Structure 1
Amino acid sequence: MKVARFYAPGDIRIEEAPEPAPAADQVKIRVHNTSTCGTDLKIYRHGHHHIDPPRVIGHEIAGEVVEVGSDVSGWAPGDRVQVIAAIPCGQCPDCERGWRTICPNQLSMGYHFDGGFAEYMIVPDEVLRVDGLNRIPDGLSYAEASVAEPLACVLNGQEFAQVGKGDVVVVTGAGPIGCLHVRLARARGAEAVYLVELNRGRLDMAANLVKPDAAICGSETDPIEEVLKLTGGRGADVIITAAAAGKAQEDALKMAARRGRISFFGGLPKDNPIIACDSNLVHYRELTIYGANGSSPDHNKQALELIASGAVPVDDLITHRLPLDGVLEAIDTVASGQAIKVTIEPAHA
């Protein structure tokens, strides 16, 4: 079978590999779609401390069960499934408290285990033990199901920041994550959602699809002034920084309404993670700053239902579909900012 393996920064190879066979406690799937994200680009450029190469990467996975290990029950060939990316241990104090997104023993598909840029892959026991293999609802395509993983992360961030009815929400960053944030905020009852992005072309492409109440180009206007103008000087109830930019986080503090909630959704580069925080704004305005780290198996299930119900459409966000041979082209397309969501379709190769 064909796979895309990461060997070193700048070195991903399309190779032939033996087709895997599941152990007694594993499930084998035929991969139909593995969507790409900014993390794949980071891995390609810089590697990752959790990846011991060579490794088949790709972690936004949907496929079809083709073989089930003898000790596994509840699954059969032909079942359509989505696979979680972040795998909690389910046993540590944090997992026992229900905080599975911050499990200190977390493993990940495409990092610790071979991922979805392959024609076939093994779903390990670690995924099955935490109920991380999810049935794809009827009527939902494999491509749409692969987007459940990033939507699950978005759902975790918005649940934590308590996005809800009547909120004015600002989303900074018009990539796939920002687009999902706009749609989920609407589904959760936000009164208005504003999208902020530095790149005019990317902003226009995203805004044309998700239609925010205002699209603010940060390279052409001051987003803080614009948000304050749009809100009559009050500021936004929730600001979600879906961009790896310290300035976006600093701006968020200045555009927040009293009692505003700020979600630092996008992490910053490890060599420059420090921002200037006006502590008095936090103190006197009673602001709350939330982190957001990945998703839990339950978030993945909820995300599939949100997509299947039509509450958060994703099909139109998939702007590029490429065969497995096109993984490097997909990563270049992500890097160019000319796509919203790029998906790889190994089963169609």
Structure 2
Amino acid sequence: MLALRFYAPEDVRLVDVPEPICGPAEIKIKVKNCSTCGTDVKIKKNGHVNITRETTLGHEVAGEVVEVGADAIGDFAVGDRVQCIAAVPCGDCYECGKGWMEVCQNQTSVGYQYDGGFAEYMIVPAQVLKVDGLNKIPDNVGYDEASAAEPFACAINAQEQLGIEEGDFTVVFGAGPIGCMHIRIARGVHKVGTVVLVDVNAERLAMSAEAVSPDHVINAADVDVVAKVMELTGGRGADVIITATPANITQEQAIAMAARNGRISLFGGLPKNDPTITCDSNVVHYRQLHIHGANGSSPAHNKRALEYISTGQVPVKDLITRHVPLSEVMSAFDIVADGEAIKVTVEP
């Protein structure tokens, strides 16, 4: 079968490999869609600390069950349409016991320690089944939409922490797929008020704005974004700010533009070689700001994402703007890197 294999940074190849064998505690799926994200591009370029061997990439996976091991946990049968979690908690550590599975200290991941979904077939590991991480896809949800449930789940996790209130003035940095999903969730679930989308790429801003219709669009390459938000709020600042981009300056701007009792999600991780920002602690102190990290998602967040998609509360179909066959998977990395689409999905 065809699979996109990682060998080393800048050495990623689409190769013919043997079809995987399903173990007694595992489930084998025929991959229908594996969507892409910026993390895939970073792995291709720089590798990842958790990828220590040759592996098949791809972690936003949906497919059809073709084999169920005799000892596999769960109620699954051949023909079931399923979506798989990406971040896999251990289920046994202190954090998992507290219900904080998204920050499990023993977390493993599909497409890292386990072969992922840029392939014709994938094995769902026993550990995924142990933590209830394989989800049946609702009948009215397509495989492409289901594959987008994983990043959607990460956005749900971040927004849950923010105590968002109806009518909150909300700023989202980053006009990529995650930024668009954040806007859809903020409106569809939390009923926020005015929404502002910020980016430095005019074409990407225009493309995403057409899809999710923010109330205001700010090109931060041309405009002082903090001053503009202060102008839009009558000097009060934004209630909720989500930095869905790996840029240091956006986190600094988020603190500067936050209203009193403002809530900030540092959603996008920063480069490992430049992970620090300058923070005016007195601004945090006197405005009583709440700054939250956001790390991935739990199995429960994935289930909630599928539910929101199924009910239409948070649609994602129109955000998937490019479908690429597995034979052309390398082009998907270029499309993502160049910001030519909102969401790109690969179809074996």
Bin the TM-score by the shorter chain. Answer: over 0.9
Residue correspondence of structure 1 range 333-348 to structure 2 within 5 A: 333-346=335-348
Tell me the percent identity. Answer: 58
Deviations 1:2-59 (A, max 9, x none): 1110111111111111111211100000000000000000000000111023110000
User: Is 1:319 equivalent to 2:314 in the alignment?
Assistant: no
**SS of corresponding position for 2:175:** coil
**SS of corresponding position for 1:270:** coil
Deviations 1:145-172 (A, max 9, x none): 0000000000000001122312111000
Give the TM-score of the pair, scaled to structure 2.
Answer: 0.98
Cα shift at 1:175: 0.5
Aligned residues: 346
Question: Residues of 2 paired with 1:98 and 1:229: CA distance?
Answer: 41
Letter in 2 for 1:14: L
Aligned partner of 1:161 in structure 2 is 162
CA contact 1:31–1:119 (8 Å) conserved in 2: yes
Residue correspondence of structure 1 range 137-148 to structure 2 within 5 A: 137-148=138-149
Aligned partner of 1:229 in structure 2 is 231
Question: Residues of 2 paired with 1:203 and 1:62: CA distance?
Answer: 28
Q: Unpaired runs of 5+ in structure 1?
A: none
Question: Residues of 2 paired with 1:163 and 1:36: CA distance?
Answer: 28
Aligned partner of 1:15 in structure 2 is 15
Give the TM-score of the pair, scaled to structure 1.
Answer: 0.98
- Runs of 4+ residues over 4 Å off in structure 1: none
Aligned partner of 2:93 in structure 1 is 92
Question: Residues of 1 paired with 2:151 and 2:90: CA distance?
Answer: 20
Residue correspondence of structure 1 range 277-316 to structure 2 within 5 A: 277-316=279-318
Q: Structure 1 residues 225-234 or 247-256, which shifts more?
A: 225-234
Question: Residues of 2 paired with 1:247 and 1:134: CA distance?
Answer: 38
Letter in 1 for 2:147: S
CA contact 1:164–1:185 (8 Å) conserved in 2: no
Question: Residues of 2 paired with 1:58 and 1:164: CA distance?
Answer: 35
Residue correspondence of structure 1 range 67-82 to structure 2 within 5 A: 67-72=67-72, 73-82=74-83
Question: Residues of 1 paired with 2:154 and 2:136: CA distance?
Answer: 18
Question: Residues of 2 paired with 1:336 and 1:309: CA distance?
Answer: 32
Aligned partner of 1:37 in structure 2 is 37
CA contact 1:170–1:194 (8 Å) conserved in 2: yes
Question: Residues of 1 paired with 2:165 and 2:42: CA distance?
Answer: 32
Aligned partner of 2:58 in structure 1 is 58
Aligned partner of 1:212 in structure 2 is 214
Question: Residues of 2 paired with 1:5 and 1:281: CA distance?
Answer: 47
**SS of corresponding position for 1:151:** helix
**SS of corresponding position for 2:321:** strand
Aligned partner of 2:332 in structure 1 is 330
Aligned partner of 1:275 in structure 2 is 277
Aligned partner of 1:130 in structure 2 is 131
Letter in 2 for 1:178: G
Aligned partner of 1:175 in structure 2 is 176
Deviations 1:104-139 (A, max 9, x none): 100000000000000001000000000000010111
Aligned partner of 1:28 in structure 2 is 28
Aligned partner of 1:6 in structure 2 is 6
Deviations 1:196-217 (A, max 9, x none): 1111111111101000011111
CA contact 1:167–1:190 (8 Å) conserved in 2: yes
Question: Residues of 1 paired with 2:311 and 2:90: CA distance?
Answer: 30
